[in-house]
Amino acid sequence: MPATNAPTTNSQLLNWVEEIRAMTAPDRVQWCDGSADEYAAMIQLAVDAGLAIQLDPAKRPNCYLFRSDPSDVARVENRTYIASRTADDAGPTNNWIDPEALKSTMRGLYKGCMAGRTMYVIPFSMGPVGSPIAKIGVEITDSPYVVANMHTMTRVGSKVLEVLGADGAFVPCLHSVGKPLAPGEADNGVWPCAPLDSKYISHFPEERTIWAYGSGYGGNALLGKKCLALRIASAQARDEGWLAEHMLILKLTNPQGRVHFVAAAFPSACGKTNLAMLVPTVPGWTVQTVGDDIAWMKFGADGRLYAINPEHGFFGVAPGTSSKSNPNAMKTIERNTIFTNVALTADRDIWWEGIGYDPPAGEVVDWKGKSWDRKEVAAHANARFTAPASQCPAIAPEWEDPAGVPISAILFGGRRPGTIPLVHQARSWQHGVFLGSIVGSEVTAAALDLQAGTVRRDPFAMLPFCGYHMGDYFAHWLRIGETPGAKLPKIFMVNWFRKTADGRWLWPGYGENSRVLKWVFEQCDGTGQAVQTPIGNMPAPGALDAPAGVSADDLAELLKVDREGWQREIADVREKHYPKFGAKLPKALWDELDGLQARLA
């Protein structure tokens, strides 16, 4: 049946919806309005299908647990494609397939794939509805789980269609779990998805289109998140002169009431969400959250970069989140939260490794739905919570300002036990782009593809998320720095993860990282005390207050210029990292590498 009673006159959208309906053959079409009743209905559908469990309403009001298929638990990098017109546009760090060949394959999979299901049409805004920095997407999906999560993670509904109007542009996002139902068939408690070799997460950057098939989980299915907000948006940002970045956004307020906003990029497992919701230990200072994962930045009339958090919720990793590591996250997820692949306690509450307390007495059911035998993990390592950002106790009042917030500083960081000091400041914008381009984390014995102790580079923490050639991406950042009249943020590199030779942490991290943020703030304010070094500006003696337990010797080690370590770093970048980008690596970055080597000599 054609899509009748559509709440829009946008002919491009109506034609697309009808094209997809004809291809996927759903039983019915439902346009999503973003209402609380609609959210409740999606959750109830999942409960009735045996795919969701209501948690104890007295402990966690309006909270539900889902368990996905063991083959469908995380982003699938090897099934994620940037189908630009040429392989050279995608670059060496993305998987490329010819776009026409990929569409032909996927059309075959999509044919009749929604049989027995409802096709949901989700109009959504990334960013405050109507913001000049925001973008509109429309996701078609056959998953009530996706609809419910998109309600939390984006702004859904009729207000979005009002802004879209009769001829507005949108990003078409097509998703199916890839599990059609025969007449009379139901999911019967089995998470619907397709086999791994039939999963596709495909991006067509020139067309601004996303096609996903076969996975119902996370960023593979919530197409506003990494797919639109980073992979497609990064290509839009390159073409339109702005930045779409894998960055948190913080508001820092000093005891005198002065404010600076900071954006920060970290690879996974480097404490990004913890920093986004940090509780400072420095008396009189306040840290508030604008965003925990993604920042879109455009120049304002005053020449400053203004950032919005394009998301509306948090899709956070649960294991390791505790009242010690992230008390604000723990308060955020007390209600109105979807949990995926965590453990279920006998009293119908959630539990995971690193939550900070032992599970209560009685049977614990693990993420696979089996009685936990204590031999394997109870919660999957990538178990998640989906919670409204508005519930975070530290949410900044400006977090939904359509104009965005002015960014004073950008931080880059990785997990490095040696060489990279606790904090240093770039000498210039170009030097800051160089620092972003060499970000990396030292791999542990758990990584199968690299030798322990080697550095896995993740430039700008964007390696899995850049929708085009990263050499061109570096060049775009350099061009941003040449914008006439620009008042650019200062750029810093931080590293909370320094260790001694015997494995002792040199820095306590968590809330104590506010001491580093205080120095960053002072550098932005022009009141900081710094010394020039071959690698950049560093805190002058006495400029950084050491927390209890960090001795003067520890602090000296944390702020030392390790010349031998940096020479090894330069050799690694020169021989193994930069050559990957070929002729597209900007000469300016080679010049920065040569300049650093000369200053260290």
Catalytic residue list: 270
- Tokens 């609809």, residue located: 147
Q: Are 558 and 421 in contact (CB under 8 A)?
A: yes
Write out the two tokens for 522. Answer: 């002072």
Q: For residue 535, count CB atoms less than 10 angstroms from its CB and return exposed for 0-12, middle for 13-18, buried for 19 or more.
A: buried
Quote the distance between the C-alpha of residue 568 and its chain's center.
Answer: 30
- Produce one character per residue of 494-508: b if its CB has 16 or more CB atoms within 10 Å, e if not: bbbbbeeeeeeebbe
Q: For residue 595, what are the contacts with CB-CB under 8 A and spacing of at least 6?
A: none
Quote the distance between the C-alpha of residue 359 and its chain's center.
Answer: 29
Distances in Å between the Cα of 153 and the Cα atoms of 64, 79, 164, 322, 585 are 16, 23, 19, 22, 35
The percent of the chain in helix, strand and coil, each rounded to the nearest 5, is 30, 20, 45
Q: For residue 298, what are the contacts with CB-CB under 8 A and spacing of at least 6?
A: 132, 133, 242, 243, 305, 306, 404
Distances in Å between the Cα of 215 and the Cα atoms of 80, 176, 188, 472 are 11, 8, 18, 30
Q: Are 540 and 307 in contact (CB under 8 A)?
A: no
Write out the two tokens for 389. Answer: 């950002």
Q: At what angle do helices 11-24 and 99-110 cross, to 10 degrees?
A: 60
Write out the two tokens for 531. Answer: 């010394």
Nearest CA among 118, 123, 155 for reference residue 138:
123
| Nearest-angstrom CA–CA distance, 68 and 71 | 8
Q: At what angle do helices 233-240 and 470-480 cross, to 10 degrees?
A: 40
